[in-house]
Amino acid sequence: MKLKTSIASITLGAVVAALSICSNVEFPSAAPVPAPTMLINAAGATFPYPIYSKWFNEYHKLHPDIEFNYQSIGSGGGIRQVLAGTVDFGASDGPMTDEQLHQAKVKILHFPTVLGADVPTYNLPGVGQELNFTPEALAGIYLGNITKWNDPAIVSANQGVRLPDTDIVVVHRSDGSGTTYIWVDYLSKVSEEWKTKVGKNTSVNWPVGLGGKGNEGVSGLVKQTPGAIGYVELIYAIQNNMPYGKVRNSSGVFVKADLASVTAAAAAAAKSMPDDFRVSITNASGKDAYPVSSYTWLLVPTKIDDPAKKKAIVGFLHWMLNDGQGLVEALSYSKLPKAVVAKETQEISQVN
């Protein structure tokens, strides 16, 4: 019996000692569960993609629970997807038409975001000088009426430049595109032949040329094709180190696209901005205005069923119109005029 009692005492003592040790051990606490990330889906224009990508990334840093998934598929795709309701908002460089707006299940608002420019970029080996383009020359090239780089319509605007007897390879967008809309909107204003034969839209029946998908595709085709000319958004020409020419504006001045000349194009139109923000500023008046300039827009439904998404999108719009504008010039876009920002800020209240 004494042996059994001793064993029992030892066993009980060991248990007590073990419990005492355990009470002094710090076990790791459960890791905090991160807040779920809200994914906001959007799609559309390639023209503003560099600044949208920057904005969405910066906004996510400020609000880690909000993430944007933006598909750079062209303005035509952005309009189609916002009409179909497959994205939370769309983006376009060409405003939606009355017919498209009537197709929408809910009212769609246009929010201008930045100002940019289409530029004529070219690949002309042996020509180091910056070229000048008249409206007549650009329309003639894209109509297929001007087929050689030493055509008098080009030579006359470039005195002292030895232009070769080389075929012009015209490059345009193959997809529905706001960049195209800006380009053909301009050509429709400066060429009656273009206006009647081709017209303006995000996608047109091109008289001549090769098609590239997105600003990226057009840039790539021009870079790899001697004799080529194409139109791309300014930042794509800069990022790809591609030459681009000056364009003669409505005051008869050859102007190169930059922040100042794009801002000048918007200045005249800012005071007469329509209530729905659907405005064209191509071929704007003013000697300093670059003539192939444009706003680009977010297409936002007025009715957003998910309250959390509505709050997130509204918050982003306010940030974009204020802090976001401070980021645009580094990527060669121009800020919105203050009058337009004020008008848009009031319009955000329609999103509910």
Quick one: pLDDT at residue 269? 72
In this structure, are 239 and 223 located in the same domain?
yes
* Residues 219-271: tens digit of each pLDDT: 999 999 999 999 999 989 998 999 999 999 999 999 999 999 999 999 877 76
Quick one: pLDDT at residue 7? 40
In this structure, are 122 and 200 located in the same domain?
yes
In this structure, are 131 and 196 located in the same domain?
yes
Quick one: pLDDT at residue 77? 93
Quick one: pLDDT at residue 333? 92
| Residue-number span of the structural domain to which 223 is assigned | 117-266
Give the end of a domain, one of 247, 266, 285: 266
Q: How confident is the model at residue 20 (pLDDT cuts 50, 70, 90)?
A: very low
* Residues 233-244: tens digit of each pLDDT: 998 999 899 999
Q: How confident is the model at residue 5 (pLDDT cuts 50, 70, 90)?
A: very low
Q: Is 115 helix (H, G, I), strand (E, B) or coil?
A: strand
Question: Does residue 9 fall inside a structural domain?
Answer: no
Q: How confident is the model at residue 278 (pLDDT cuts 50, 70, 90)?
A: very high
Contact residues for 22 (Cβ-Cβ < 8 A; gap 6+):
none
In this structure, are 252 and 126 located in the same domain?
yes
Q: Is 136 helix (H, G, I), strand (E, B) or coil?
A: helix
For the chain, the residue count is: 352
In this structure, are 86 and 159 located in the same domain?
no
- Once rounded to an integer, what is the mean pLDDT over residues 85-107? 95
What type of residue is 63? H
Identify which of 308, 300, 305, 352 has the alpha carbon closest to the alpha carbon of residue 36: 308
Cα gap 47→75, rounded to integer Å: 9
The DSSP bridge partners found for residue 351 are: none
Residue 305 has pLDDT above 60, yes or no: yes
In this structure, are 46 and 142 located in the same domain?
no
Residue 22 has pLDDT above 80, yes or no: no
Quick one: pLDDT at residue 309? 96
Q: How confident is the model at residue 12 (pLDDT cuts 50, 70, 90)?
A: very low
Question: Does residue 15 fall inside a structural domain?
Answer: no
pTM of the entire structure? 0.82
Q: What is the CATH number of the domain that holds 95?
A: 3.40.190.10
Helix, strand, coil share (%) of the chain residues, nearest 5: 40, 20, 40
Quick one: pLDDT at residue 176? 83
Q: How confident is the model at residue 202 (pLDDT cuts 50, 70, 90)?
A: confident
- Once rounded to an integer, what is the mean pLDDT over residues 45-52? 92
Identify which of 71, 77, 64, 75 has the alpha carbon closest to the alpha carbon of residue 38: 64
Give the end of a domain, one of 266, 283, 318: 266
Question: Does residue 22 fall inside a structural domain?
Answer: no
Q: How many domains does the chain have?
A: 2
Secondary structure letter of residue 278 according to DSSP: -
Q: What percent of the chain has pLDDT over 90?
A: 80
Question: Does residue 71 fall inside a structural domain?
Answer: yes
* Residues 118-163: tens digit of each pLDDT: 999 999 999 989 999 999 999 999 999 999 999 999 999 999 999 9
Cα gap 9→313, rounded to integer Å: 70
Quick one: pLDDT at residue 177? 86
Question: Does residue 157 fall inside a structural domain?
Answer: yes
Q: How confident is the model at residue 347 (pLDDT cuts 50, 70, 90)?
A: very high
In this structure, are 103 and 135 located in the same domain?
no
Give the end of a domain, one of 266, 281, 302: 266
Question: Does residue 166 fall inside a structural domain?
Answer: yes
Quick one: pLDDT at residue 30? 52
In this structure, are 260 and 154 located in the same domain?
yes
Measure the CA angle with vertex 39, ends 36 and 43; round to 5°.
175
Quick one: pLDDT at residue 272? 75
Residue 23 has pLDDT above 90, yes or no: no
In this structure, are 248 and 305 located in the same domain?
no
Residue 318 has pLDDT above 60, yes or no: yes
Q: What is the mean pLDDT of the chain?
A: 90
Cα gap 298→92, rounded to integer Å: 6
* Residues 175-193: tens digit of each pLDDT: 888 899 999 999 999 999 9
Question: Does residue 3 fall inside a structural domain?
Answer: no
Quick one: pLDDT at residue 39? 97
In this structure, are 106 and 142 located in the same domain?
no
Question: Does residue 2 fall inside a structural domain?
Answer: no
Quick one: pLDDT at residue 24? 52
In this structure, are 72 and 127 located in the same domain?
no
In this structure, are 152 and 177 located in the same domain?
yes
